[in-house]
Structure 1
Amino acid sequence: MDGENRLRLVILVGAARESRFGLAAAEWLAVRARLRKDVEVDVIDLATAWLPDLMTADPAVPRPSAVRDLSPWLVAADAFAVVTQDYRLGCPASLRNAIDWYDREWHAKPVGFVSYGEASGGLGAIAQLRQAFAEVHAMTVTETISFHHYEKRWGPEGQLLDSAACRAQAAAMLDRLEWWARALRRARALEPYEDPTPVYAEE
């Protein structure tokens, strides 16, 4: 498949705790996505993006340099997969902060979720994130990947232990993201997606 038809999937690692199971889960998904001939993958770890947590309400004020540096990676994405743990049945602050810093970068693009936690498997975080992404005009897919009792999923050499069910979930989510990514990319090409909400100045 030629380069113009290839899809770019950005995997965002949203949790920044030291256990870093999220990074292992992101790399696991990236390996599976890269097996597809028509998908290019970027993994972005928000723990190293250094996005500031203080925002101004004035859209005329330029965004900080760290925010501007990450923006092109998000703009280039056709689809997103967000890796998250739930903290007190909600999403981590680092992830919500990243969503709030951007506007047009998310518009009319599909978002899938990889969650992990104890018995809940991180599903509380996904429930919050669906609402947050709706507000930035992204479209979340129903298919998800959930690692329950994630602390038991480490192998003897520190690798993530998956299962047939997890691999099936990944295939289903990637299939759905690809379908929506192509459909929405065609739609944006025919008619740019417009949102009247003010956006931050770039300089």
Structure 2
Amino acid sequence: MDEELRVAVLVASTREGRVGGEIGRWFVERAAGHGGVVLDVLDLATFAIPARLPAEPTAGMAGFAKRIAVAEAYVVVTPEYNRSFPASLKQAIDCAYEEWRAKPVGFVSYGYRAAGRYAVEHLRDVFTELHTATVRDSVCLDLLEHECGDPGAGPHGESAGHAASALLDELIWWGLALREGRRARPYRG
């Protein structure tokens, strides 16, 4: 491998009392143990991204876009609110445009029953418009199972760990392939 892949992990929920921080930490620990990646956690609760996008980017928006530009791949940790993803995530995504291009995106979602799958399907459409490559496998966590699960099995059980490994394998493969592609021929889509 050429060098480790620079992966930004976006923790999307900004709600008080959220479980997104816990799920984000769990995924970052899995990714660090997996190897092959250098991680940058972008917790949207810590960014000053305005609810209304101004004509000129604020310092918070510019800082976010710069970190998106440096990353070579992304993992979005998102809740599902009313069968979609949170507005805070859409505002953050819109702070960058070309910075996302020709890079892979993976998803870790959570919610009740559907485990965030509707949010991921909506995000796939958004990221397609930004010329990214979304990876097939994702981690989908049902919070009902999490609340009722065996506390000794870890925060999300063995099957979620396997799903995280599959997601990371795909993300790294696509990330390295697209890195080589961008070096050989800049993306102009």
In the superposition, the TM-score normalised over structure 1's length comes to 0.85
Q: SS in structure 2 opposite 1:132?
A: helix
- In the alignment, which residue of structure 2 is the partner of 1:108? 102
Q: Is residue 10 of structure 2 the alignment partner of residue 12 of structure 1?
A: yes
Q: Counterparts of 2:79 and 2:161 in 1: how far apart (Å)?
A: 19
Q: Counterparts of 1:50 and 1:153 in 2: how far apart (Å)?
A: 35
Q: SS in structure 2 opposite 1:105?
A: helix
Q: Deviations over 1:69-127 (max 9, x none)?
A: 12221111111000111111011000011111210111011000000111110111111
CA contact (8 A) 1:112 1:144 kept: yes
Change (3 A) 1:15 1:41: same
Q: Deviations over 1:3-62 (max 9, x none)?
A: x61111111001111222111111111111112342111111001111112225xxxx53
Which of 147, 162, 167 is 1:168 aligned to? 162
Q: Counterparts of 1:155 and 1:42 in 2: how far apart (Å)?
A: 30
Unaligned runs of 5+ in 1: 196-203
Q: Counterparts of 2:137 and 2:29 in 1: how far apart (Å)?
A: 18
Misfit runs of 4+, over 3 Å:
153-156
Unaligned runs of 5+ in 2: none
In the superposition, the TM-score normalised over structure 2's length comes to 0.91
Q: Counterparts of 2:175 and 2:12 in 1: how far apart (Å)?
A: 21
* Most deviating of 82-91 and 63-72: 63-72
After TM superposition, the structure 1 = structure 2 runs for residues 11-160 of structure 1, keeping only pairs within 5 Å, are 11-56=9-54, 61-150=55-144, 152=147
CA contact (8 A) 2:68 2:96 kept: no
Q: How high is the sequence identity, in percent, across the aligned residues?
A: 36
CA contact (8 A) 2:5 2:36 kept: yes
Q: Counterparts of 1:38 and 1:113 in 2: how far apart (Å)?
A: 18
Paired letter, 2:85: C
Paired letter, 1:52: P
Q: CA RMSD in A?
A: 2.1
Paired letter, 1:44: L
Q: CA deviation at 1:160?
A: 6.0
Q: Counterparts of 2:75 and 2:15 in 1: how far apart (Å)?
A: 19
* Most deviating of 159-168 and 11-20: 159-168
